[in-house]
Amino acid sequence: MLVYVCTDRYFVGSETQTYVVHLNLSSSYSVRMAARGGALPFIDSASSGTRQIITNCSVVKHCRMEFTSPLVDSWHYLAVSNQQNKTIVVNLQVSTSGK
């Protein structure tokens, strides 16, 4: 059973070629991050898809996910879940690189 910790959205502009999501956690946890352009991600999915990327981070305080060739000029959505059934505090940073 996955417990959803948070969802967030961020805009990816037309000049973006790659973006990186950095997630800093208050304590060491196993988390699963899923990001998708244009719609909410399917975090229960077994693998990444055309417009979605999934990253599993095991017992860490920092998790990183890189999304190349994203859907541009659109909102992207991030979901973070854990299986510990605990509330966790996260600090989210999205950085982009472009043309």
Q: CB atoms < 10 A from the CB of 27, how many?
A: 10
Q: CB atoms < 10 A from the CB of 43, how many?
A: 19
| Segment among 4-8, 27-31, 74-78, 94-98 with least mean pLDDT | 4-8
Q: Which domain holds residue 59?
A: 3-98
Take residue 8 and report the two structure tokens written for it.
Answer: 């967030």
Q: Tell me the per-residue pLDDT of 20-70, one tens digit each, with 9 for 90 and over.
A: 888 888 778 788 888 889 988 887 766 656 678 888 888 878 888 888 888
* Domain tally, the chain: 1
* pLDDT of 86 over the 90 cut: no
Q: What is the pTM of this model?
A: 0.79
Contact 78, 21 (CB under 8 A): yes
- pLDDT category, 1, cuts 50, 70, 90? very low
| CATH number of the domain within which 50 lies | 2.60.120.380
For residue 75, what pLDDT is reported? 94
